[in-house]
A = this chain, B = another copy of it.
Amino acid sequence: MNRYEAHLDKNQANYTPLSPLSFLQRAADVYPDLPSIIHGARRYTWAETLNRCTRLASALASRGVGMGDTVSVIAPNIPEMFEVHYAIPMCDAVLNTINTRLDAKTIAHILQHGGCRVLIVDREFSEVAVNALALIERASDEDEILVIDIEDSEMSNVLSTKPVGSVSYEDLLAEGDSQFKWSLPVDEWQAISLNYTSGTTGNPKGVVYHHRGAYLNAVSNISGWTMPHESVYLWTLPMFHCNGWCFPWSLAAIAGTSICLRDICAANIYKALAEHRVTHLCGAPIIMSMICNATKAEQQPLEHTVHMMTAAAPPPAAVLEKIESIGFNVTHVYGLTETYGPAVICAWRKEWDILPAAERARLKARQGVRYQLLEGLDVLDPETLKPVPRDGETIGEIMFRGNIVMRGYLQNPEATDAAFNGGWFHSGDLGVIDNDNYLRILDRSKDIIISGGENISSIEIEDLLYTHPDIAEAAVAARPDDKWGETPCAFVGLRSGAETDEQAIIAYCRERMAHFKCPKTVIFTDLPKTSTGKIQKFKLREQAKALGSL
């Protein structure tokens, strides 16, 4: 025994399990009067938010909700959605937010697979909730799900909808005791939330987060994005998506204000930016497009720089240039549901400031480097698990390691073991490391097009298509080909009023990239998207496949 092992043990004074619940307690202790949430006419302070969360936790606990119980929530970005991020873990239960655009069948699957005991549902989603609940097979009456209705006074037609459950959210709060003695989890490894993967691959899995990871990624957001105390954050990113990338927890740590939006559209975004002097927001490229393509009537002048974090797809250089010219400072991040949302950040290097705009955009469209609190990120050969050379060319699988990697997939040991094979989390995404050590994603493995034995990155083609002045959005998938195996097929959405044709676009590409990489087919269409703005490439892949050989 060395001298550092004796009488230097953990105790209540020097050890606290890491949990984001501490951030709410701190915000309410120190800044009870500062605004926590603003949603139209509804405004709360941190004291009120702690009070409401405590009462919700108390009421749920009184109704028997406790350790390891799953509480599911279907709601837009409203105060209740923020509150459940605290109230549910406060009674040792697990928060399961559900994508509001899912169909009843998928929701039923999630409720059943996740073992939902309580469902909190906003009136806007009453209908799909009723349909989902009707599909659930229950073993006995004891399994009955307690359903709670959110009646948001900011929902214009709330009274025209029907309640699904037996109690409203506010009535439940009224049952609760604001003096309820909640406590931090004894073990920071305890589950805090359950997030189903978005289904771009068609097979949603239940990703389990723990208090330690939620705490650490909430802090990573702050330190990595240099978010100051009292930031004002606009909720354009759905909170159901990876727990809003952990920002509900980050915001309490910095006593920031959440600006809620039920309806996310260009006019509402610009209005909120100006009215609340928003400093930060997050969102998929669809939000960037919304901002860039706003009509004159929707726009409002920005008198301050707004920091925007974006992910889901590499932001096209043209969109980046446009939005920065409006007054946004864009930070590009990358992550997966399995990494608590953002875990990789394209940290800006000072020396890039002086580069031309196009070059800056190219650098910024890369995924970047690991979050300060992510312990490992590399591109490995998926067979040998050896790192690939950092030459910007050698493709491997992007893998993660550290405290902001999920506990695993709920009730799916096979998928969990496969994901963690060899002590790394296998993302399924392919990428390269450039010679300055920045990660560049190429494609999900199924998005690589193999033509004449050559790997073609569909993202590389998409990036080029986005530079075309007539193209608003683009996605590329593999079309079967008798001669080449596969050829690139481009799906393109044009800007309103734009006129061009297949041959013109192919010619545009051939002038600018290796001919074998150019699309052989161009289809003009509205691109299918998930609710988080991700283009659903699996649908396009099916469509391209169905075309058959050229």
User: A-side interface residues toward B, CB under 8 Å?
Assistant: 2-16, 18, 22-23, 26, 29-32, 34, 67-70, 94, 115, 189-191, 208, 213, 219, 222-223, 226-230, 253-254, 347-350, 369-370, 372-373, 375-376, 400-403, 405-408, 410-413, 416, 419-420, 423-425, 437
A9, B210: Cα distance in complex, Å:
11
The reply to whether A369 and B13 contact each other, CB–CB distance below 8 Å, is: no
> Which residues of B lie under 8 Å from residue A34 when comparing CB positions?
349
The reply to whether A94 and B4 contact each other, CB–CB distance below 8 Å, is: yes
Residue of A5, A14, A254, A401 with highest tally of chain B CB at under 10 A = A14
Give the dominant DSSP class at A's interface. Answer: loop
> Which residues of B lie under 8 Å from residue A410 when comparing CB positions?
3-4, 8
> Which residues of B lie under 8 Å from residue A67 when comparing CB positions?
2
A31, B436: Cα distance in complex, Å:
8
> Which residues of B lie under 8 Å from residue A18 when comparing CB positions?
403
Q: How far is the CB of A50 from chain B (nearest CB, A)?
A: 13
Q: How far is the CB of A61 from chain B (nearest CB, A)?
A: 15
Q: Which residue of B has the minimal Cβ distance to A371? A: B26
> Which residues of B lie under 8 Å from residue A253 when comparing CB positions?
223, 372
Identify which of B9, B226, B372, B403 contacts A226 (C-beta below 8 A).
B226
Identify 24 residue pairs between A and B in the complex whose beta-carbon atoms are under 8 Å apart, listed by A's number: A2-B67, A2-B69, A3-B70, A3-B115, A3-B410, A4-B190, A4-B410, A7-B413, A8-B407, A8-B408, A8-B416, A11-B423, A13-B424, A14-B403, A14-B425, A16-B401, A16-B403, A26-B370, A30-B369, A34-B349, A223-B227, A226-B229, A229-B348, A253-B372
Given A3-B68, A14-B425, are A8 and B191 also a contact pair (CB < 8 Å)?
yes
Nearest first, the 7 A-B pairs at minimum CB distance are A2-B68, A12-B423, A4-B191, A16-B375, A7-B413, A8-B407, A14-B405
A416, B4: Cα distance in complex, Å:
13
The reply to whether A349 and B407 contact each other, CB–CB distance below 8 Å, is: no
Q: How far is the CB of A260 from chain B (nearest CB, A)?
A: 21
A18, B216: Cα distance in complex, Å:
10
The reply to whether B219 and A372 contact each other, CB–CB distance below 8 Å, is: yes
The reply to whether B405 and A32 contact each other, CB–CB distance below 8 Å, is: no
Known: A8-B407, A30-B437. 12 other contacts (CB 8 A): A3-B115, A8-B208, A11-B420, A12-B401, A13-B400, A18-B403, A30-B370, A31-B437, A32-B437, A34-B349, A229-B348, A230-B350
Q: Which residue of B has the minimal Cβ distance to A224? A: B229
Q: How far is the CB of A18 from chain B (nearest CB, A)?
A: 7
> Which residues of B lie under 8 Å from residue A405 when comparing CB positions?
13-14
A254, B349: Cα distance in complex, Å:
11
Identify which of B14, B222, B230 contacts A406 (C-beta below 8 A).
B14
Q: Which residue of B has the minimal Cβ distance to A113? A: B3
> Which residues of B lie under 8 Å from residue A228 when comparing CB positions?
226
> Which residues of B lie under 8 Å from residue A369 when comparing CB positions?
26, 30
Q: How far is the CB of A127 from chain B (nearest CB, A)?
A: 29
Q: How far is the CB of A447 from chain B (nearest CB, A)?
A: 24
> Which residues of B lie under 8 Å from residue A22 when comparing CB positions?
375
Q: How far is the CB of A415 from chain B (nearest CB, A)?
A: 10
The reply to whether A420 and B13 contact each other, CB–CB distance below 8 Å, is: yes
Identify which of B5, B15, B403 contacts A68 (C-beta below 8 A).
B5
> Which residues of B lie under 8 Å from residue A190 when comparing CB positions?
4
Q: Which residue of B has the minimal Cβ distance to A402? A: B16
Given A2-B67, A67-B2, are A223 and B219 also a contact pair (CB < 8 Å)?
yes
